[in-house]
Amino acid sequence: MKEISQNEFDQEVLKAGKVAIDFYSTECPPCEALAPKFDNLSELYGNEIKFLKIFRQENRELADSLEVNGSPTVLFYDDGKLVGEKLTGGIKRSELITNLNTMISEEKVSEIEKNIKPLISEYETIILGGGPGGLTAGLYLCQARVNTVLVDIMLPGGQISTTHKISNYPGFIEPQPGYMLAHYMSEQTKICGAKYKVAVDVTQVNLKDKTIVIDGYETIKAKKIVLATGASPRYLNVPGEKELKGNGISYCATCDAKYFHDKEVIVIGGGNTAIEEAEFISKFASKITIVHQFDKLQANKEAQEKAFANPKINFIFDTEPRGFEKNGNQMNVATENIKTGEKSTIEADGVFVFVGMKPNTDLFKDDVERDDFGYVKTNEDMLTNIEGIYAVGDLRSKKYRQITTAVADGTIAAISVTRELDS
């Protein structure tokens, strides 16, 4: 693999046939996650496709001209023309392979696939999930000199990466941007010595054998596994929701609030997340209508006081959405008052849904005991019903789910694992 500058771009890329080029930056966790995947694929595909790297920060003029605004970004060229997808952020190996395979013949693809050798790696502990609970477990384990690998289908950070501001995490006087708190946690655990395999496809999890297969070819074995896969937004499951997800309906204020400057939005929900995120959305939107199924909010008192005092925020209680439709650029939300049965339609420019979370247990399903809501049961040591398998964070069956409780879970699990290994 060769590194080039913008002065060499025409010769090395536009006049060089089939090319995959990685625009990277320093001090960039997603770039670090991509590097071993890009290197490995350059060895497999190198006879058919040229693999190049370019330092985006020192070649900004070229990057800007190509609308490469983030690192890493991988572009694919064939005879000087852009082909395939522009990949950026937490790039998975499977995404790279999909684009590379479209550039060569099926015969060549088959030959390359035959050369992919299964890889087996062994650790004392695997942490599956990189949110606060998983990162804290990793920190304690590496400080205890336990050989640990952290595996995540995304980049480390979990839900806090997409949270606007966090004001209730101890140690910070001022509220912290969620992505920065996630960065601090991740870097601390990484510097300590925990190995990271992130932005990967987890293709198989066998809890009883304590093995995890990633990217279809690498098997990771361990003596202990800490499950830290967290939870995901719960959907309303009403007509139009699935079809309009990302096209009028959002589940992330940090991601999408900026697109509703001087516009009207609807927020579904009345818990902490809904009310706190509505407050953030009000920095952009001109009007917010909160639709809540109960006659009062469930958010904490401080969040409620701010919301009720905000002139941009209005409330519709005892009401549930029954469906979503898009009319041009407008969203129509069909609603029903659950006490009177009265039906009506609310119009807005966009909708944000915050109605709770569900545990991410699809990877291991029924192998581990769960409660009636699908959360994983543990004892006070965070141990599940399967020997050597622990669970922490929002995935775990418990009364309260906060960053601080996830961190506490990770601490307990790591200490429990360490003592078990020592014994």
What CATH code is carried by the domain that includes residue 24?
Answer: 3.40.30.10
Summarize pLDDT for 295-322 with one digit per residue, the tens: 999 999 999 999 999 999 999 999 999 9
Helix axes 132-143, 403-422, angle to 10 degrees: 30
pLDDT at 60 (0 to 100)? 94
The DSSP call for residue 77 is: E
CA-to-CA separations, 31 to 27, 64, 79, 107, in angstroms, rounded? 8, 18, 26, 31
Could you give the number of structural domains in the chain? 3
Question: Strand, helix or coil at 195?
Answer: strand
Where does a domain end: 114, 138, 161? 114
364 and 335 in a single domain? The answer is no
pTM for the model stands at 0.86
Angle of helix 301-309 versus helix 272-281 axis, rounded to 10: 30
What pLDDT sits at residue 366? 73
Of 322, 353, 384, at which residue does a domain stop? 353
383 near 389, Cβ under 8 Å?
yes
The torsion of the CA quartet 179, 184, 190, 193, rounded to 10 degrees, works out to -160
Pick the last residue of a domain from 114, 140, 165.
114
- Report how far apart, in Å, the C-alpha atoms of 357 and of each of 12, 139, 144 are: 48, 26, 33
- Please check whether residues 7 and 61 belong to one and the same domain: yes
Closest CA to 72 of 44, 111, 31, 32: 31
d(CA 186, CA 129): 12
Pairing of strands 264-268, 350-353: parallel
pLDDT score recorded for residue 109: 97
CATH code of residue 349: 3.50.50.60
Burial class, 82, CB count within 10 angstroms (exposed 0-12 / middle 13-18 / buried 19+): exposed
Length of the chain: 423
As a whole number of angstroms, the distance between CA 25 and CA 60 comes to 11
407 CA to centre of own chain: 18
Residue 166: the pLDDT is 86
CA distance 422 to 280: 47
Residue 319's CB is within 10 A of a number of other CB atoms, namely 24
Enter the tokens of residue 260.
């509703």
Mark residue 398 as left, alpha or beta (left: phi above 0; alpha: psi -120 to 50; beta: remaining): beta
Q: Give the per-residue pLDDT at 172.
A: 93
Indicate if 362 and 335 belong to the same structural domain: no
DSSP letters of 146-160?
Answer: --EEEEESS-TTGGG
The verdict on 13 and 103 lying in the same domain is: yes
Domain hosting 295: range is 241-353
Q: Are residues 48 and 150 in the same domain?
A: no
Say whether both 369 and 304 belong to one domain: no
Low pLDDT (below 50) residues in the chain: none
**What is the separation, in whole angstroms, between the first and last Cα of the chain?**
46
> Is there a single domain that holds both residue 295 and residue 324?
yes
SS3 of the chain: helix, strand, coil, percent, to 5: 35, 30, 35
Encode pLDDT of 264-297 as tens digits: 999 999 999 899 999 999 999 999 999 999 999 9
